[in-house]
Amino acid sequence: MIITCTPNPALDVSYHVDRLVPGATHRVRSVLERAGGKGFNVSRVLHQLGVATLAIGPAGGVLGDSLRADLVDSGLPHELLPVGGATRMTVAVVADDPPDATLFSEPGTALSEKDWERLLDLVARRLPGAGALVCSGSLPPGAPVDAYARFVALARGSGVPVLVDVGGEPLVAAARAGADVLKPNAEELRSATGAEDPVAGARQLLAAGAGAVVVSLGAAGMVAVTGSGAWRARGPRVDGNPTGAGDAAVAALAGATAAGRSWPERVAAAVAWSAAAVAAPGAGAVVPELLDTEVEVGQL
Ligand code: TA6
């Protein structure tokens, strides 16, 4: 069972248009609404592929109700913590020509100290026997910098490997708490460490206490740096909707970590699942036929 915790979930709304033109009025061809936020997307991908998962996060307000309804409809195992604030919305404008997606992400609603305690408690109760814990996505406004570090300490205390996908200071705090795997993108890593080179930035987080760092580099693939080596993985170019590609990579890393796979295997799976997500119409899904996409892995 892989548990995901998303402290700042969102109702994801995707608008499909022919072409995105700044300043123009767009006629929307189709609208897709899904329970989103990074950890929810990780759970969605795992659930699609038959991997046992439980998605945990706070929900409040009208959009919190829509989030809950979508989770029930899709059959995704979940536990939502009712909170007083309102769940946010993110809007992705998905264009065909050129194929791309533009994301508008609201800040979200603040959680009280009591909410954080209840969220930690909810996760703590589900941790025993879990294969991995994934903490994923931006933190809501006013969140303590060590918000994810607290979950890392909890998971380590239960002997459960923990993966964290976030940027900035919370990423550094998660490294200091000894997170097993961190998965920033290049910009999140730069904002956390100031390093331009992803391998140098990853090594800073290892020195701070992280077990491994996987940096997603968009079309250029991924770099994985651990105490025992560094690898670069790259797959074929796939056109489509990149929203949620990083979440599919985290799903692959969580599954492969829980299964004790080697690092070259883990990073190859992360690149392949990410490509399979780009080809899918919305975040939190993959095109299964692309999961075996050929990925080149080289030692650095
Ligand atoms: O990666 C895609 C996605 O998870 C969307 O589902 C959307 O809700 C957004 O990212 C949230 O990202 P954030 O970094 O703000 O938590």
The three-state DSSP-derived secondary structure of 126-149 is HCCCCCEEEEECCCCCCCCCCHHH
Question: In 3D, which of 222, 203, 218 has the Cα closest to residue 270?
Answer: 222
Pocket flag, ligand 1, residue 87 (CB < 6 Å): no
Pocket flag, ligand 1, residue 241 (CB < 6 Å): no
What pLDDT was estimated at residue 48?
97
- Quote the Cα angle for 245-48-246, to 5°: 15
Q: How far is the CA of 213 from the centre of ligand 1 (A)?
A: 20
What pLDDT was estimated at residue 55?
98
Q: Which atom of ligand 1 is nearest to the CA of 6?
A: 16
Q: How far is the CA of 289 from the centre of ligand 1 (A)?
A: 25
What pLDDT was estimated at residue 78?
98
The mean predicted confidence, pLDDT, of the chain is: 95
What pLDDT was estimated at residue 72?
97
Residue with tokens 């709304």: 13
Q: Which two tokens stand for residue 50?
A: 């038959």
Which residue among 70, 115, 165, 247 is the active-site one?
247
What pLDDT was estimated at residue 293?
87
Q: Which atom of ligand 1 is nearest to the CA of 38?
A: 4
Pocket flag, ligand 1, residue 165 (CB < 6 Å): no
176-190 pLDDT per residue, tens: 999 999 999 999 999
Pocket flag, ligand 1, residue 243 (CB < 6 Å): yes
Pocket flag, ligand 1, residue 12 (CB < 6 Å): yes
Q: Which two tokens stand for residue 60?
A: 């409040």
What mean pLDDT do residues 49-65 have? 97
Q: What percent of the chain has pLDDT over 90?
A: 92
Whether the per-residue pLDDT at 46 is higher than 90: the answer is yes
Cα–Cα distance, 220 to 235 (Å, whole number): 8
> Can you say how many angstroms the Cα of residue 129 is from the centroid of all Cα atoms in its chain?
22
Cα–Cα distance, 18 to 176 (Å, whole number): 45
Cα–Cα distance, 154 to 160 (Å, whole number): 9
Cα–Cα distance, 135 to 272 (Å, whole number): 21
Q: Is 223 exposed, middle or buried (0-12, 13-18, 19+ CB in 10 A)?
A: buried
| Protein residue with least CA distance to atom 7, ligand 1 | 37
Q: Which atom of ligand 1 is nearest to the CA of 137?
A: 16
Q: Give the count of beta carbons closer than 10 Å to the beta carbon of residue 112.
A: 12
In this prediction, residue 241 has a pLDDT band, given cuts at 50, 70 and 90, of confident
In this prediction, residue 174 has a pLDDT band, given cuts at 50, 70 and 90, of very high
- φ, ψ of residue 239 in degrees (nearest 5): -90, 150
Domain 2-299 fold:
UDP-N-acetylmuramoyl-L-alanine:D-glutamate ligase (3.40.1190)
In this prediction, residue 282 has a pLDDT band, given cuts at 50, 70 and 90, of confident
Q: Is 180 a catalytic residue?
A: no
For ligand 1, mutation pick of 8, 12, 32, 38 (most atoms within 8 Å of CB): 38
Pocket flag, ligand 1, residue 41 (CB < 6 Å): yes
| More confident: 76 or 101 | 76
CB 7 within 8 A of CB 119: yes
Q: Which two tokens stand for residue 16?
A: 């499909």
> Can you say how many angstroms the Cα of residue 218 is from the centroid of all Cα atoms in its chain?
14
Instruction: Output the furthest CA–CA distance in the chain (Å, rounded).
Output: 53
Helix axes 38-48, 245-258, angle to 10 degrees: 60
Q: How far is the CA of 39 from the centre of ligand 1 (A)?
A: 9
Pocket flag, ligand 1, residue 246 (CB < 6 Å): yes
